Amino acid sequence: MRVTIASTRATIPRASASRRARSSSVRAARVGEDVDVPRRRDVLFSLVAAIGGGASAREVRAGEVLDGLVSYRDDARAAYEKDPEDEVLKGQLNFFEKQVKRTRENAEFVDSLRGDVMSGSTNYVGGMVFEVKDVQAEVDFWTKALGMRVTSDVGDGAKRVATLAYGQTSLNADDGGKAAVEIRQAPEGAMGSVGNVLSYVAVTVPFGLRVSQIYESGGELVYGFGFFDMRSPGGIPVRGQVATRRDPLETIALNVRDVRDAEKALVKEFGFAASKPLDANAYAPKSPPGSRVLYLTSATKTLTVILQPWREREALKLGDVVRGVVVARGGDASAPSAFVDARASNVPFLSRPCADYVA
């Protein structure tokens, strides 16, 4: 059976035209499977849309994504064993073996994290919130150019709210524990100003960034060599690179007047740990001297916050596009709340009950 992965953005070896034509048919008999195989494949695509991005998805039960990927890998293996000279089948088998490994490691991570968050022994950075004038244009940019997928899209017109992530947000899902970008419709009369408090949002994606889609979705490519500096249709600064990370939504960098004061305020309120920025990409600009990265649970596996010292004379302005950073709180936290402190440039840190992340 030929396992087709055209809906993903993985790069796989290409066979000759004659071989592609010969192996393009999906024949269950090739691997001794029945006609249920294509149906299972279609179901699986809806569950692992995070691999390719851009598709809606429902919340899934623990084990469902991993079980489906294992079945898909087994189909690919059986097909390859029938025709070991087919480079396309070999590439597809390699792709799904990596996806099984990555998803299994993610499942182990969220399993270890879930109890600590629910008990309140640690909090969890759940994402960020923006308000823009054109929600659909913003959704197109984050999905088509950056590979995110829509996990929720509710309301319409002035009440529309779209939520995007690189997988499931639930800590009960194999591909879960991923931070989200929440895009809200800005109220009538909003200026659409991003301000200068937000330095950038960083994404680190394994499958590549689609430059053509940056422009086609209304974004702007500011720079692109070794990393990409972009602006979304709503003016949100985004820094992207191609690499593998558990959660491709990597960090939100904020400018503050006094890094140490801002760090103290946020550590006291949320229990952040702090360290020097990793600055792992040799091509990207280094964080300004004195910057600090704040993280909950892991500086390399979860969404982090970078505090950067603002040394310009120009006043810091939050604008009306950046609406907050979301923190999932466990323990006895049962209602949303907001922490706003001038030391952290008045960026709202929005507490949400961890029950929202274990549904």
Among 20-34, 40-54, 189-203, 217-231, the least confident range: 20-34
> Could you please report the per-residue DSSP string of 66-119?
HHHHHHHHHHHHHHHHH-TT-HHHHHHHHHHHHHHHHHHHHHHHHHHHHHHHHH
**38 residue type, one letter:** P
Contact in structure between 279 and 243 (CB atoms under 8 Å) = no
Q: What is the pLDDT of residue 115?
A: 86
pLDDT digits (tens, 9 = 90+) for 266-319: 999 999 999 999 998 888 999 999 999 999 989 999 999 999 999 999 999 999
Mean residue pLDDT of the chain comes to: 82
pLDDT surpasses 80 at 29: no
Q: What is the pLDDT of residue 164?
A: 96
Could you tell me the domains of the chain?
Answer: 17-118 (no CATH), 122-357 (3.10.180.10)
321 pLDDT band, cuts 50/70/90, is very high
Which residues have CB under 8 Å from 274's CB, separation 6+? 263, 267, 292, 293, 294, 295
Among 176-185, 208-217, 218-227, the least confident range: 208-217
pLDDT digits (tens, 9 = 90+) for 55-81: 344 444 557 788 888 999 999 999 999
Indicate the pTM of the whole model: 0.80
